[in-house]
Amino acid sequence: MSASTIENSEYCDYRSPLAIRYASKEMRYNFSDQYKFSTWRKLWIYLAKAEMMLGLVITPEQIAEMEAHVNDIDFKAVAEEEKATRHDVMAHVHIFGKQCPKAAPIIHLGATSCYVGDNTDLIIIRQGFNILLPKLANVLSRLAKFAMEHRDLPTLGFTHLQPAQLTTVGKRATLWLHDLLMDERNLCRARDDLKFRGVKGTTGTQASFLQLFNGDDKKVKQLDQLVTKMAGFDRHYLVTGQTYSRKVDVECLNALSSLGSTVHKICSDIRLLANMKEVEEPFESTQIGSSAMPYKRNPMRSERCCSIARHLMTLVNNALQTAANQWMERTLDDSANRRITLSEAFLSADVLLMTLQNITEGMIVYPKVIASHIAQELPFMTAENIIMAIVKAGGDRQVCHEKIRVLSQEAGAQVKQHGKNNDLVDRIKKDPYFAPILNQLDNLLDPRTFVGRAPQQVIEFLEEEVNPVLENYEGILGGKVELNI
């Protein structure tokens, strides 16, 4: 391959890994130039239609000409025009006007750049949430089924990452579900709180439109309402500067960054459990875990989620800084930043949900490994139950407590100093003091008796909190989680 051929190759340009490696086709399109700039053209059409309806001299022929060229954007010509004008919106106005010579005089009439820029951003953000929410619902559905399936499988609980009172595999999954439900609510709220910037003019006063309509305040108000409705919004912001408030972006990115923290926590748990060989994410038959160690089954999906989630969680700080630094009615130092931050936030969230969906639909549980870990720790946790049994059989609590304390220390030394199994139960069986309760030991050591109401909590949580949310997505999920036992 010649040097010139290499220079012209697409592989010689930087391409975001979020776009080429990770994110979905629909989310990539949502942030594509084609979607963005065809939306600009639609907004110019909405504006012209509304102005015509309210009496300005605009003809149906001009509207039809614009509608005929919504999608055929000459990006090369726009780039050349922008290079000359140093203004992206005017570059598109000029090229659109060349394609629509009859409509050219009325394109962008009375508007400022933020009419197309900000309104398009709001459309894209709303659509971004619409893409994410069904994917989040899929994760909720699959994780709920996992929780139900393993609701009564005992496992060690961990506090301070040290073995603690038993829980169940399904109950732990409900902790993940709980946070994801909060994220679903936050994403819905951020989406549903979005309004349209509308038709506000250069500093938000609508002065240019008031002039166009010869001071007719009522028509200017109608213009705002008509364009808002054409763009598919029910409401518009009643007051703006040149831009809509950048705190709107903060609220949207807060919801996305919070989702990132949830996914990071879930996948960190899975990575820790994979280390213990209790739980494993899906692993294809041809998948390679390590280039040097063929036996490895690395939790690479969970690691990817943690990696991208860390990036997502930082992006809200950009939005906060941008909102804080908007001077008066606006400054342009928000523009370049938002081009990067908004798209990367939604693309990152998209990657996280797709990957987590893949993990949750094929997660593997190893009950025998879990049981062996329980066997190492449960004897220590049964002390109180054994003491109570001895007391009921006529023994002395303090004597029994001391007996178990000594035997526990001896068994602990076997585990920690010699790497042997926990033999506390064998030591208890050999001690004549415990003879009166030997026939009860198996029941006293049954892990299922140490999980409290965990299985019932799983069912109650799925029924009362998860299924009502899943019902909102019944069309794409095929129904709620079946709780019949």
Give domain status of residue 167, yes or no. no
CATH number of 53's domain:
1.10.275.10
pLDDT band of 284, cuts 50, 70, 90: low
pLDDT at residue 16 in the model: 82
pLDDT at residue 23 in the model: 83
Give domain status of residue 456, yes or no. no
Query: Among all chains, which residue has been given the structure tokens 């329980």?
Result: 374
pLDDT at residue 22 in the model: 75
- Average pLDDT along the chain: 89
- Sort 299 into a burial class: Cβ within 10 Å, 0-12 / 13-18 / 19+: buried
- For residue 480, pLDDT over 80 is answered with no
CA–CA distance, 82 with 94 (Å, rounded to integer): 10
Bridge partners for 158 per DSSP: 163
pLDDT at residue 47 in the model: 96
Give domain status of residue 477, yes or no. no
Catalytically annotated residues: 160, 290
Rg of the Cα trace of the chain? 31
The model's pLDDT over 29-39, given as tens digits with 9 standing for 90+, comes to: 999 999 999 99
Catalogue the E-assigned strands of 408-483: none
Sign for the CA dihedral angle at 427, 433, 439, 445 comes to negative
Give domain status of residue 250, yes or no. yes
> For residue 439, what is the DSSP state?
G
Query: Among all chains, which residue has been given the structure tokens 């630094």?
Result: 325
Query: Among all chains, which residue has been given the structure tokens 């690395």?
Result: 298
Residue scoring higher pLDDT (62 or 323): 62
Expressed in angstroms, the distance from the first to the final Cα of the chain is 65
Mean pLDDT of 380-399: 84
- For residue 302, pLDDT over 70 is answered with yes
- For residue 13, pLDDT over 90 is answered with no
Tally of domains in the chain: 3
pLDDT at residue 234 in the model: 95
pLDDT at residue 330 in the model: 85
378 and 346 both lie in a single domain: no
- For residue 394, pLDDT over 80 is answered with yes
CA–CA distance, 268 with 256 (Å, rounded to integer): 18
Query: Two tokens at 148?
Result: 């139900």
pLDDT band of 470, cuts 50, 70, 90: very high
212 and 183 both lie in a single domain: yes
145 and 75 both lie in a single domain: no
Q: Print burial letters for 386-413: b (CB count within 10 Å at least 16), e (below 16).
A: bbebbeeeebeeeebeebbeebbeebee
Closest CA to 379 of 349, 353, 346, 414: 414
118 and 94 both lie in a single domain: no
| CA-angle at 126, arms to 257 and 37, nearest 5° | 115
322 and 229 both lie in a single domain: yes
443 and 384 both lie in a single domain: yes
- For residue 5, pLDDT over 70 is answered with no
Residue scoring higher pLDDT (193 or 242): 193
94 and 221 both lie in a single domain: no
Mean pLDDT of 236-254: 93
Give domain status of residue 481, yes or no. no
- For residue 27, pLDDT over 90 is answered with yes
Four-CA torsion 246, 250, 256, 259, nearest 10 degrees: -170
| Packing angle of the helix pair 33-53, 60-67 (nearest 10 deg) | 170
139 and 181 both lie in a single domain: yes
Q: Print burial letters for 136-148: b (CB count within 10 Å at least 16), e (below 16).
A: bbbbbbbbbbbbb
- For residue 457, pLDDT over 70 is answered with yes
Give domain status of residue 387, yes or no. yes
| CA-angle at 472, arms to 469 and 478, nearest 5° | 100
pLDDT band of 12, cuts 50, 70, 90: confident
Mean pLDDT of 165-184: 96
Question: What percentage of residues in the chain have a pLDDT greater than 90?
Answer: 61
373 and 308 both lie in a single domain: no
244 and 223 both lie in a single domain: yes
Residue scoring higher pLDDT (16 or 458): 458
pLDDT band of 291, cuts 50, 70, 90: very low
- Sort 377 into a burial class: Cβ within 10 Å, 0-12 / 13-18 / 19+: middle
pLDDT at residue 6 in the model: 59
Element (H, E) at 159: strand 154-159
The model's pLDDT over 180-233, given as tens digits with 9 standing for 90+, comes to: 999 999 999 999 999 999 999 889 999 999 999 999 999 999 999 999 999 999
CATH number of 127's domain:
1.20.200.10
pLDDT at residue 446 in the model: 85
Give domain status of residue 11, yes or no. no
Of 338, 365, 392, which residue constitutes the final position of a domain? Answer: 365
pLDDT at residue 182 in the model: 97
Looking at the chain, the number of H-run helices and the number of E-run strands are 22, 4
62 and 130 both lie in a single domain: no
Among 124-133, 373-382, 395-404, the range scoring the smallest mean pLDDT is 373-382
- For residue 454, pLDDT over 80 is answered with yes
List for the chain the helix, strand, coil content (%; round to 5): 70, 5, 25
Give domain status of residue 254, yes or no. yes
CATH number of 389's domain:
1.10.40.30
Query: Two tokens at 158?
Result: 């961990």
Query: Two tokens at 426?
Result: 């064998």
Among 6-15, 61-70, 349-358, 459-468, the range scoring the smallest mean pLDDT is 6-15
Bridge partners for 196 per DSSP: 236
Backbone torsions φ then ψ of 247, nearest 5 degrees: -70, -20
Domain of 34? 19-99
234 and 326 both lie in a single domain: yes
Backbone torsions φ then ψ of 240, nearest 5 degrees: -145, 165
CA–CA distance, 429 with 23 (Å, rounded to integer): 59
- Residue 319 vs residues 117, 255, 323, 337: alpha-carbon distances, Å: 17, 12, 6, 9
Backbone torsions φ then ψ of 9, nearest 5 degrees: -70, 145
Mean pLDDT of 295-308: 84
- For residue 323, pLDDT over 80 is answered with yes
